[in-house]
Structure 1
Amino acid sequence: MANSSTNSTPGSSAREDAIRFYQIAAQRQPTPAETAAYKFIDPLAGFANCELKIFEKNSDLGGTWFENRYPGCACDIPIHNYQFTWAPYPHFPSFYTGAQDIYKYLKEVAEQHNLRKYIRLSHKIIGAKWIEERQKWQVQIVQTDGRELVVSDGETKDGEQGEPFIEECDIFINSSGAYNNWRWPTIPNREAYRGNMMHSASWPDVDYVTGRTVTLIGNGSSGIQILPAILDQADKIYVMLRSKTWVTPALANRFAGENGANKIYTDDEKENWSKDPEGYYAYRKEIENELNARFRLYLKDSQAQQMGKEATKKQMTARLSAKPELVNDLIPDFPVGCRRPTPGSGFLEALCSPKVEIIWGEIDTFNETGLKTASGKQVDSDTIICATGFNMGFVPRFSIVGLNGCDLREVWTQELPTAYLSVTVDKMPNYFVMMGPQSPLGHGSITGSIEMLTKYIRKLVSKLQTEAYASLVPREAATKAWLAHALKWMEKTVWVENCASSFKNGSSGRTVVSLHPGSRLHFFDLLEQPRYEDYEWTSLSSDPLSMFAWLADGFTAAESSAAADLSYYLVDAPHLKQRSRCAEEPTRATATGN
């Protein structure tokens, strides 16, 4: 790395810091925020001389795993592959671990790696604006009143206190995530209901389930987890269903419990992994290999799709054996994977319980005692649980204004949301989004994807720092070409089939902008070597003849240190034998006398 001088003129020998100081502001989601803190700040990760501030609206870190507290809330990815690669943890209690244990893990990682110092709790970002003449972001922030959970919706002011203030930064990373901006069902007269109504993502501390009649709306991931978790407590449960769904076998099924159930790890297993890191690493590798190998399931008419469909149908039929009449009602016509695959341990068995009554069709309206279906059936209950998911539309929850007054919230409301390689956005300089449009949200564990994204961002920011650039922005042509490729590639997948899916923000349409056009490993390879030519770079200097001023005095930073290795380019051990042969044997030219 060359010594840089941000103010040097051609031919100068000024010697300044090799890496220009940067301020980075990030809106949190637990995994991206902690990964950013670790990867950006840790000098071993190759990044230095920056100040990182992470703003968290809630009273503690943890994001999704701090907010979601409904009964049965758990990771539906094998837990030993839903953790940081740099913070392995062998003590998780089960194959699919609950929210509280994941939250505890995230807190322990933050403490162990001293990451809390970067996080500003009870601070909510409410706006951001790029100041072109200063080449800076001005991020508008307001403190919250210390309550545990603050609503993500930018239009909601509950919990905000005091006057907003401005934080200026060189880099703005939006890692707010998708699984926290929850939404009520679009059913009229919700306020008319006199009983206890709750959303799965905003679960109350008071028990409104035990000994009561409960109505559960939704059979997505949350609803599938809630039903078996409340079955023993409730007196009666009405399950409102309007669409069929695949309840899949466990991911990496052979590592799960019997018949794909959740496996509880023994103390001996956890202790052995703790004492044998290599064995634990091998176990994680086996599961990861299997998860990555299953991607062809999502290709239309593939052998993997056909096999997956047959295996899932067989298992669903077996698990519904107590009520075989439900098989045709529940098994869909659309392919496995069109909706987000959910293992759903215990859900199908719970549907067979005499406590449970399934009511099919649309809900027409809420009323004082419950709800009425479109067919006219009145369903009364003490408690209504809305497991109706999140807003997955990618539109920012606050105004983000980039070049020429372009407001990203308006653009992504009017047009298809797109981010170049899922991470940078046209007309938004020095702006990065974690797991944005066209990201591997449905490809398996997101933790590895987030780490790869962080490394990619680090490479771009490092180029800014060391080569005297003020900002970067993806080229409009590259962004459009990327979206065109992604949409065309999606046509070969089951994701575009006719099913209401979170991948399409709850719609049944055929346009999918949320997912990466390829496998998870394909995504990793794509990020490995940035295509710098797909970006426009703004120099710190207005003088075009100063574009190489960052080369400074013509020496590398290593040459300023007496302890530096000045022959690093000589290859070591792998070629020792070859060098030995070269010393002992004459070259062909010598042997032939040439």
Structure 2
Amino acid sequence: MVSFTINSETGAPNGVSSSPFHLEDYPIDDATRNLKIAMIGAGFAGIIAGIRIDQKLKNVDLAIYEKNSSVGGTWLENSYPGLCCDIPAHCYSLTFEPNPNWSSFYAPGSEILEYLRSVSQKYKLDRFIRYRHTLTRADWDEATGQWTLSFNLTNEEGVKVGEKTETADVVIQGMGGLSRWNWPDIKGIHDYKGTKIHSAAYPGTAEDQAGKTVAVIGSGSSSIQIVPSLQPFATRVDNYVRGSTWIASPFASTELIKRRPDGLNYKFTDEEKKAFASDPAAYKKFRHGMESELNGVHGCTIKGSDLQKGAVEAFTVLMKQKLASKPEIAKTLIPGFPVACRRLTPGPGYLEALVEPNVDFISNGISRITETGIEDNEGVHREYDTIVCATGFDTSYRPRIPIIGRNGTNVQDEWSDVPTHYMSMAIGPDFPNYFIVNGPNSSLGSGSLLVLFEREVDYIVEAIAKMQRENIKTMSVKQAAVNDFMEYIDVYFQKTVYSEKCRSWYKKGLETGPVVALWPGSCLHAITALKNPRWEDFDYTSSSEQKNRFTFLGSGWTRAEMDPKGDRAFYLNEVDIPATPQ
């Protein structure tokens, strides 16, 4: 233990500082340091961040950089036939912006996009958004304590028309994981002469396939929504499925089954929507019940749990019943792995479409794609007018652009295998003042993702407020904290069904490997864990040239005292009155 002698005249420690300390000339609660904040992306993450930063932080310069010409993110870029929310739409709304006007239980993607646009307009976020700015690079400057961000500027057609650089004290990454897509690695895919479509860039409607023969490749959530949408219009739809997948009964389905016992999507009546809008308390109770039900199925993700066993039994019965007229499909499609090992989707209408006479289910695997169609692994060639690749996204979390931190460290290299991070929101000590919403391990196996986004944004806003309040120049997570969190993730998932052998985007599209997409716990676990930041897990540097950590205490005054009209008893308006014990 180091001890210091005290100056008997001043009370200050002797020999602590080699240079004299002086008080900074500002009140303690005056955030004198203006911070430039760059938010990357204007999807749900960017919209939540824009609202909360504007609400809770003062003396900041916020810019939201969006590569497209509109807000919306994933819901702007994805527009394939049948696109809809795969949890009840009333649960897929911001907690502070409920929407009583959803048209159906599973709202279509176009409606979710309009919801995002309406929220953005309500909070006037256009004053912060810089449209058609595509981030191409981010570089940390240790001397200035800022990030330099490089952008390509594009026109309405997405064509590059210029370049631009900006600086920021804090960067928040909100680039969605379901926007980066590639063509599948299938021999001959670029030889095909017909209409080739990726689900992530679908141009047009289901009606466009009227009278045509169509192949849909994939068995994920996109394919499960596309197949029943095309079936009524196409002459023939062939669904090429590489593996097996569980088709679930509807999530939070009590309210749905009341209205549609068959579990198919339900359209709310005008009377129901008016009732929701006119009675906020009743609507809140309606939503609360569904979200409580949605958050009650986490036990299904634990190996050998009663919920897991019950789900396997129930979904097996469900799938066999709906595929009864084509039982050979059930033998192939019903998995041998646990429920939820792959992302679950209720898929209303998918199984019903598979048994229609103009739909074929092909599980032989694809050998190659030719100029006119697809040849399967048994040598059978089928010709198509259109091939739809519903083959997913790049879910490795490895950024497609260089993000260069301290010591020349590039996130592309750091995350070339497993994306290591702290609580899904910080990368490591070489990346100060850089935060992430919807980063690695921040998706959910059950529950509403948006409430987690909100909590991540709240955490980041608190961190920025701390930087302002305490005159912090850099804030970077400690490597030991990263290591401990990654160890927790590894141990947690060993007891879950996600560690079983199944091909899943939770594991970067692999059958086995670390779970890089999901939070290690339930939705409620996540939002509870992020409620109170652990400031001790970070290292800090001060923006003051003085070494004393209490420089931020300023002049010894508050703003209220220095303002002639200030409230010098403000604390009486902040009283937390305890309940009297009974």
- TM-score, structure 2 length as denominator? 0.92
SS in 2 for 1:215: strand
Give the AA of the match of 1:170.
Answer: D
Unaligned runs of 5+ in 1: 1-7, 151-158, 582-594
Q: Distance in 1 between matches of 2:579 and 2:218?
A: 65
Instruction: Look up the match of 1:321.
Output: 324
Give the AA of the match of 1:261.
Answer: L
| C-alpha deviation, 1:316, in angstroms | 1.3
Check if 1:191 corresponds to 2:202: no
| C-alpha deviation, 1:572, in angstroms | 5.9
| C-alpha deviation, 1:103, in angstroms | 0.8
Instruction: Look up the match of 2:341.
Output: 338
| C-alpha deviation, 1:569, in angstroms | 6.0
Instruction: Look up the match of 2:138.
Output: 128
Q: Distance in 2 between matches of 1:244 and 1:366?
A: 22
Instruction: Look up the match of 1:75.
Output: 85
* Identity across the alignment (%): 35
Instruction: Look up the match of 1:534.
Output: 537
| C-alpha deviation, 1:571, in angstroms | 8.3
| C-alpha deviation, 1:563, in angstroms | 4.8
Pairwise CA RMSD: 1.9
8 Å CA contact 2:298, 2:445 repeated in 1: no
Residue 478 to residue 326, structure 1, CA distance change in 2 (3 Å)? same
Residue 533 to residue 213, structure 1, CA distance change in 2 (3 Å)? same
| C-alpha deviation, 1:541, in angstroms | 2.6
1:478 to 478, 481, 488: 481
Q: Distance in 2 between matches of 1:290 and 1:576?
A: 31
8 Å CA contact 1:440, 1:523 repeated in 2: no
2:405 to 390, 402, 408: 402
Check if 1:31 corresponds to 2:41: no
Instruction: Look up the match of 1:40.
Output: 53
Instruction: Look up the match of 1:242.
Output: 242
Give the AA of the match of 1:245.
Answer: T
2:552 to 550, 553, 566: 550
1:418 to 417, 420, 431: 420
Q: Distance in 2 between matches of 1:239 and 1:325?
A: 14
Residue 565 to residue 376, structure 1, CA distance change in 2 (3 Å)? farther
Give the AA of the match of 1:203.
Answer: Y
Instruction: Look up the match of 1:367.
Output: 370
Residue 126 to residue 263, structure 1, CA distance change in 2 (3 Å)? same
Give the AA of the match of 2:22.
Answer: P
Give the AA of the match of 1:317.
Answer: K
SS in 2 for 1:129: strand
Tell me how many residue pairs correspond in the alignment. 556
1:84 to 80, 84, 94: 94
Quick check: 216-225 or 552-561, which moved more? 552-561
Residue 212 to residue 573, structure 1, CA distance change in 2 (3 Å)? closer
Give the AA of the match of 1:123.
Answer: H
8 Å CA contact 1:418, 1:438 repeated in 2: no
Instruction: Look up the match of 2:216.
Output: 216
Q: Distance in 2 between matches of 1:278 and 1:386?
A: 44
- Residue by residue over 1:102-130, the C-alpha shift from the partner in whole angstroms, topping out at 9 and shown as x without a partner, is 11111111111111211111111111000
Residue 439 to residue 337, structure 1, CA distance change in 2 (3 Å)? same
Q: Distance in 1 between matches of 2:456 and 2:262?
A: 36
8 Å CA contact 2:366, 2:375 repeated in 1: yes
Q: Distance in 2 between matches of 1:57 and 1:285?
A: 35
8 Å CA contact 1:11, 1:552 repeated in 2: yes
Instruction: Look up the match of 1:4.
Output: none
Q: Distance in 2 between matches of 1:326 and 1:211?
A: 25
Unaligned runs of 5+ in 2: 1-19
- Residue by residue over 1:493-533, the C-alpha shift from the partner in whole angstroms, topping out at 9 and shown as x without a partner, is 11111111111121111321221111111111111111111
SS in 2 for 1:258: coil
8 Å CA contact 2:402, 2:411 repeated in 1: yes
Residue 349 to residue 556, structure 1, CA distance change in 2 (3 Å)? same
8 Å CA contact 2:247, 2:346 repeated in 1: yes
| C-alpha deviation, 1:556, in angstroms | 2.9
| C-alpha deviation, 1:312, in angstroms | 1.2
- Residue by residue over 1:156-210, the C-alpha shift from the partner in whole angstroms, topping out at 9 and shown as x without a partner, is xxx2222x21110001111001011112111022121111110011111376511
Q: Distance in 1 between matches of 2:451 and 2:374?
A: 43
Q: Distance in 1 between matches of 2:200 and 2:302?
A: 32
Check if 1:58 corresponds to 2:68: yes
| C-alpha deviation, 1:565, in angstroms | 5.8
Q: Distance in 2 between matches of 1:575 and 1:123?
A: 50
Residue 554 to residue 336, structure 1, CA distance change in 2 (3 Å)? same
Residue 560 to residue 303, structure 1, CA distance change in 2 (3 Å)? farther
SS in 1 for 2:76: helix
8 Å CA contact 1:122, 1:144 repeated in 2: yes
Residue 221 to residue 466, structure 1, CA distance change in 2 (3 Å)? same
Residue 204 to residue 172, structure 1, CA distance change in 2 (3 Å)? same
Q: Distance in 2 between matches of 1:404 and 1:76?
A: 43
Q: Distance in 2 between matches of 1:286 and 1:82?
A: 14
Quick check: 325-334 or 493-502, which moved more? 325-334
Residue 493 to residue 281, structure 1, CA distance change in 2 (3 Å)? same
SS in 2 for 1:341: coil
| C-alpha deviation, 1:9, in angstroms | 4.9
SS in 1 for 2:70: coil
| C-alpha deviation, 1:555, in angstroms | 2.4
Instruction: Look up the match of 2:499.
Output: 496
8 Å CA contact 1:419, 1:479 repeated in 2: yes
| C-alpha deviation, 1:322, in angstroms | 2.6
Residue 212 to residue 14, structure 1, CA distance change in 2 (3 Å)? closer
SS in 2 for 1:311: helix
- Residue by residue over 1:68-113, the C-alpha shift from the partner in whole angstroms, topping out at 9 and shown as x without a partner, is 1111000101101111111111001001000111111111111111
- Residue by residue over 1:546-580, the C-alpha shift from the partner in whole angstroms, topping out at 9 and shown as x without a partner, is 321110121233434545262626986956978xx
Give the AA of the match of 1:176.
Answer: M
Q: How does 1:251-330 map to 2 (within 5 A)?
A: 251-256=251-256, 257-330=260-333
Check if 1:513 corresponds to 2:516: yes
Give the AA of the match of 2:477.
Answer: P
Quick check: 228-237 or 513-522, which moved more? 513-522
8 Å CA contact 2:373, 2:382 repeated in 1: yes
- Residue by residue over 1:453-500, the C-alpha shift from the partner in whole angstroms, topping out at 9 and shown as x without a partner, is 000001111111110110111101110111011011110111111111
Give the AA of the match of 2:136.
Answer: I
- TM-score, structure 1 length as denominator? 0.90
Check if 1:178 corresponds to 2:177: yes
Give the AA of the match of 2:251.
Answer: L
